[in-house]
Structure 1
């Protein structure tokens, strides 16, 4: 490999200590399209089901299956395509997955029964699951150390932007007799814009270096981060190149930690997003319109929580944000369990409390897995942890309508509280602190 590596540079200096530039902002913005679509797609179905259920005469079983279908797809997509991304690169998969979302979103407009809808949402979920490890790995591998948590965590915040937009778009389209068709089709619009924008993003230089393609890695590094960069800015990560090898060499604890805390975060979150209007309607609200509008406002509180957590994560550190977020969000859920018949303003306050403090665990869903695994298997590990978390989320989403019908609202909220507290307990014993560490340092096992 004939490359002029240069001399005198501190290892990782250009890449880890670079100033935030326009490329970093563009990369984060375009990468956030996947999370935006995920939030949009999952949130819009909660409102669309209000019309779809009577339209198709759906049973509780089918309501749960369709609510959980995209989550099952995310499990498949993350588990399979994370490994593919580590083998063939980030850039190629970066656009293919969104094309699949566009095609399936358009086809949803023409479904005539619950089976067709289930299959299409499963396929959309697979494409979304594939995007998680691709987009987050790219951002983590380009981001300066001082901005990594905010840029990667910010991707998760865009999930809530997508969910918030979907809630209000869905509320508007619900006024139409066939509004559900337009709701499901609407996700194709942002997907088209995002896939066009992503064509300008290059391959990850860290991934290229891990494959021995130093010339290409250096050219991209100099064109995007620092024109004076050298290969010394890309640490040689001589680590196991397969996930099974990584697990054997000591990373299993990290896989378990991330999978458990991620699952505890998303089980309650996705249940509320998939069945938000139905859940809120049980809290003695006066009308279906009031429940749908309240659903949109809860999305805003989730977004606010993410923004606050992003502002604090580099000051307070990862552990306090994660553990404190779980405990305080559980407090909001506990109140809803104890006092489901409270005044409307108290119900709104409790939901807001849960949603805002859920922001800490939410942004760390992508910060931790991208920091704690080496380049060679980063996308594989992120995909695996995404998939495992979505198994729990899919089960929770599938079980939510049954739990509400058979166990009641209060018991369902007690279960949600217990899940959040379990996340806090696991995080207390297993969460590492990676604040102020380079990506190389964070992904290394302690001596």
Structure 2
């Protein structure tokens, strides 16, 4: 057992007696932070990653589906951008509304409701006949996905050991790229079918059903239960999930009035004092990370065609390979984030990915090999900011408003992403490829600047330490 982590779980007045008695304590005695990683933690993380997987799948599949939908419905740039951005608008609403509801009624119940909604709306997409119908359904799917983010990430943050928290939370975001990669190859396969786009959009119901079944075995968060005064129930869950020697040490007994915290008061707490500074920081860096990312995913085949990659098989295969580069970048960032720290991984990730976009802006007609290399450079180094989308929000806010804060930050980041996704086809038409890439590079470098001045370092801290406001 890591003694330094064990000491931090106790108030200072107990440190002396705790250290003296530690050698006599049963070897199996443990807290959430000091527990070894076990099969339950891995299962929880895998099942929780279903939300990010579906988000990546849903957004990437529309980029390929639009290749068939646009000529079939003779859609203009307005509807093209609106449908591409519809799920992002929904994520904004879902995160904003259901993050707070998750803090009120618990993580477990919301953990399954949102998936049921994704299944129903995904199936309904198969039958749409007009652009407005597709827009509405993708908006509703986005709301359900936005609800899942604060639910699933809060559960992982509140269950896993301290030394594994960053890697497992960051791993959730990596699954976004797994979902997008799978969607790229599924979409490529289904393009050969007449009205293959309908099957593409329907296909998101399949993983959603599997994830829904798997999540039935996941219990409520002990942190949330303690915050509601349900200590025995929390202890029973810990004994089942991390071992019979589990204790509630290290879980702060939150304000007993937290259970009665109104929606208005929850948002007020998140938007006041030092927490407002954190909301602003997270919202800006998250927005800067995903504006360019989501635009490339929503319109990847169209963008690649402009880079001398002809539309059709060549562009779609290139689209799938870019997805793999994004995934590689996430894996590399996960391996170094606990060694290098949150700040350097975030700041240098923005700088280096921005350089890749800058090359594309300066040399849009460069040889195909250099274009591919620049895209790979951007995709790989975007992994740093990407994995921190889930690490920072869950570490920087207390349990009683964690899901509210994560939902708020998710929602605000999606406003910019939705605007960027909606504007991408318009920008490509009116500013050209080079002008669009200049804007993308500027957004990445803005993220680096904001992170340099605002990003805190939470490496090595437990949840209570990371969320604490310091004078």
Q: How far off its partner does 1:13 sit?
A: 5.3
C-alpha RMSD of matched pairs (Å): 1.4
1:219 corresponding residue in structure 2: 236
Between the aligned partners of 2:106 and 2:268, the Cα distance in structure 1 is: 19
Unpaired segments ≥5 residues, structure 1: 1-6
In the TM superposition, residue 287 of structure 1 has moved relative to its aligned partner by 4.2
Among residues 89, 103, 106, which one is paired with 2:123 in the alignment?
A: 106
Q: Which residue of 1 aligns with 2:181?
A: 164
Match 1:47 to one of 54, 64, 70: 64
Distance in 2 (alpha carbons) for counterparts of 1:286 and 1:277 = 9
Give the structure 1 partner of residue 26 of structure 2.
Answer: none
In the alignment, the residues of structure 1 paired with residue 210 and residue 432 of structure 2 have an alpha-carbon distance, to the nearest angstrom, of 42
Q: Conserved in 2, the CA contact under 8 Å of 1:14 and 1:226? A: no
Partner SS state of residue 272, structure 2: helix
- Aligned-partner Cα distance in 1 for 2:400–2:414: 23
1:123 alignment counterpart = 140
Residue 273 of structure 1: aligned partner: 297
* 1:318 match: 342
The residue number in structure 2 matching 1:176 is 193
Structure 1 residue 203 corresponds to structure 2 residue 227: no
Which residue is equivalent to 1:330? 354
Q: Distance in 1 between matches of 2:229 and 2:311?
A: 62
Contact 2:269 2:275 in 1 (8 A): no
Alignment partner, residue 31 of structure 1? 48
Per-residue CA deviation, residues 342-373 of structure 1 (Å, 9 max, x unaligned), is 11111100000000000000000000000000
Tell me, yes or no, if structure 1 residue 361 matches structure 2 residue 378.
no
2:395 counterpart of 1:378: no
Aligned to 2:25: none
- Structure 2 match to 1:413: 437
Quote the residue 1:243 is aligned against: 267
Contact kept? 1:35, 1:159, Cα under 8 Å: yes
Q: Residue 161 of structure 2 is aligned with which of 144, 148, 167?
A: 144
Aligned partners of 1:444, 1:245: CA distance in 2, in Å?
Answer: 13
SS at match of 2:249: helix
**Other-structure match for 1:3:** none
State the distance in 2 between where 1:214 and 1:19 align.
Answer: 22
1:415 and 1:231 mapped to 2: Cα distance? 49
Once the 2 structures are TM-superposed, how far is the Cα of residue 231 of structure 1 from its aligned partner? 2.6
Gaps of 5+ in 2: 1-16, 23-28
The match for 2:32 is 15
- Following TM superposition, by how much is the alpha carbon of 1:84 offset from its aligned partner in structure 2, in angstroms? 0.3
Residue 4 of structure 1 aligns with which residue?
Answer: none
Q: Pick which of 229-238 and 295-304 moved more.
A: 229-238
- Contact kept, 8 Å, 2:302 with 2:311, in 1: the verdict is no
The offset of 1:73, in angstroms, is 0.1
Structure-2-length-normalised TM-score: 0.92
**Counterparts of 1:286 and 1:344, CA distance in 2:** 11
Aligned-pair distance for 1:248? 2.5
Aligned residues: 440
Q: For the structure 1 residues 429 and 422, does the alpha-carbon distance in structure 2 shift closer, same or farther, using more than 3 Å as the test?
A: same
Q: CA deviation at 1:246?
A: 3.7
Q: How many angstroms does 1:238 deviate by?
A: 4.0
Select 1:75's aligned residue among 61, 86, 92. 92
Per the alignment, residue 12 of structure 2 pairs with: none
Matched, 1:59 2:47: no
- Helix, strand or coil: the match of 1:87? helix
Is 1:93 aligned to 2:117, yes or no?
A: no
Please state whether the residue corresponding to 1:227 is helix, strand or coil: coil
